[in-house]
Amino acid sequence: MLPKLRGPTNYLLALTAFFEILHQSGHFVFLFVAVSGINFINYSTALIFQLHSIFGLTAAQTAMCSTAFDRLLAVLFPMEYDQLKLRPYLFVHTFVAFSSGIWMSINAILFANKYPSIKVTGYMSDLLILDMHILHLFMMSLCLLNLIIYLLVWIVVCLHHSTNNINGAQSDIQSRLLKSLILICSIVIGGYVFGTILRPIINIFIILNNIQTWSVKVF
């Protein structure tokens, strides 16, 4: 029989994927601006086409954290987790994700009203300037929280299997779990963390012109 896809984790993964689609679709704005030869547009204009992307990026980061918390809850309280009422439980996760996206979207609208004529390329990272740097700080905070939660997941599973070791299977289970968690953290949040660490290093040791500095900042 095929496994059911109605569990909480599958829903949270699908929710994250939906938000990521919104986020990634915003890159078409930068593509259009670059190909058209316009190069720069007003921040207020960019936000009209990028607001859904800012919403999606923020909500996706929150949903990723919700998924990590869901995994921690599953290993800490497996019996209680199986008895969860799915609709209220998933509603809370969905509400938190949507609320974070709406909150950041409001911040973006207020910033666009405050500085409507700032010239930007339309690229997502190019929008995270001045007051909107709060989005980057929010993302990094959730990335750190994700790392902590997944570390706790690994510790809890290791402790559980150390007390329930059967036929020496403990080390193999722990090894596979550790590899999967490393893969999750590397793919999901590794790019954000790596970019944040790499940018100041490049700026310190390499002399860049304005265009190169912008390229490092946005990519």
Q: Of the segments 17-26, 165-174, 192-201, which one has the largest average pLDDT value?
A: 17-26
Predicted pLDDT at 38: 79
Banded pLDDT at 1 (limits 50, 70, 90) = very low
Contact 61, 98 (CB under 8 A): no
Predicted pLDDT at 80: 82
Half-sphere exposure of 60 (CA within 13 A, CB side): 19
One-letter amino acid of 59: A
CA distance 206 to 202: 5
For residue 93, the Cα-to-chain-centroid distance in whole angstroms is 15
The tens digit of pLDDT for each residue in 25-78 reads 888 887 787 788 777 888 888 888 888 999 999 999 899 899 888 888 888 888
- Provide the token pair at 92: 């809370």
Phi and psi at residue 41, in whole multiples of 5°? Answer: -135, 165
> Is the dihedral angle over the CA atoms 154, 173, 191, 208 positive or is it negative?
positive
Q: How many residues does the chain have?
A: 219
pTM: 0.78
The tens digit of pLDDT for each residue in 106-153 reads 999 999 888 888 888 877 777 888 888 888 888 888 888 888 888 888
Contact 56, 118 (CB under 8 A): no
Average per-residue pLDDT in the chain?
A: 78
- Judge whether residue 102 has pLDDT over 90: yes
One-letter amino acid of 13: L
CA distance 70 to 52: 26
Burial (CB count <10 Å: 0-12, 13-18, 19+), residue 171: exposed
More confident residue, 64 or 160: 64
Predicted pLDDT at 163: 57
- Provide the token pair at 174: 């722990």
CA separation, residue 198 to residues 190, 194, 216 (Å): 12, 6, 9
Instruction: Count CB atoms within 10 A of the CB of residue 165.
Output: 12
Percent over 90 (pLDDT), the chain: 14
